[in-house]
Amino acid sequence: MMGRPMAERLVAAGFDVRGADMAAEARQALADKGAVVFDSARAAADGCDIVVTMLPDGSVVREVLLGEGAVATCLKPGVLVIDMSSSAPMGTRLLGAGLLERGLALVDAPVSGGVARARDGSLCIMAGGRQADVARAQPLLDAMGATVIHAGPLGCGHAAKALNNYVSAAGLAAACEATLIGEAFGVDPGTLVDILNASTGRNNSTEVKLKPHILSGSFASGFAMALMAKDLHTASDLAKELGMTACGAEQAAALWSAALADLGQGADHTLIHTFLNKRAQSRKPV
């Protein structure tokens, strides 16, 4: 969903792109845009100066880079690895140490903006790593995003992404609950969204998700509920690893995990509205 349009932006910017994906359809689509595609990540990475990963989570990234048949074994010292996945920040620091032992540098550069902004190259990219490494990655990041922010040392990009998605998910759940409560009282949901967007309740969800993907009934934002639930646990776990209590993050993670269990792995994250509605209805007196 995200990796292919991002790779296409690199092709369009004039980079020589070698790509790999488990899905033959994705490989062919990228080849049609001018990239050279391969069945395996190792084959695609062989001979490259910069390797970009965009994968479901940090454990998959680690397996691809350092596991059996690892990409890292074919990379010459000095190659820069950019992990643009939404990975756990503590794991990113461990990955960075493992790559450094092989003479490889790592930048974590997760993104925000969804599929539409991946396609038009307007993503927000939050980068973590040494200043020199981030500067080396900058031309590629500029081709994929409109905003690139150096968040701090290695892992800070992934920490910022998880925390961003916590705030985003909390805002979406609150907006969905507000429309459900308002509708039960007699306020049209679309009207309430207009009011929120003209008031202090405005957020990304009220602006770009409520009407197009939820009130329309399409529930097709392109971002999976499973990934949102994963990011929320990343944020909650980070707080615990730092010895902090973060009640809001813990509650958000629990809410989205419950929704995922109810709706299944294939659910779009905007279906949180359906889950909240179902839960609200179950509490009504008979």
Active site amino acids: 161
Query: Two tokens at 199?
Result: 């008031």
Q: Which residues contact 5 (CB under 8 A, 6 or more apart)?
A: 115, 118, 119
Q: Which residues pair with 51 in a beta bridge?
A: 81
Beta strands in the chain (DSSP E): 18-20, 36-38, 50-53, 80-83, 105-108, 111-112, 123-128, 145-152
For residue 114 the two structure tokens come to: 């969804």
Four-point Cα dihedral 10, 14, 16, 18, nearest 10: 30
CA dihedral (44, 45, 51, 53) positive or negative:
positive
How distant is the alpha carbon of residue 117 from its chain centre? 12
- Taking residue 23's Cβ as centre, other Cβ atoms within 10 Å add up to 9
Residue 200 neighbours by CB distance under 10 Å: 6
| Structure token digits, residue 175 | 């907006």
Taking alpha carbons only, the member of 118, 88, 93 closest to residue 12 is 118
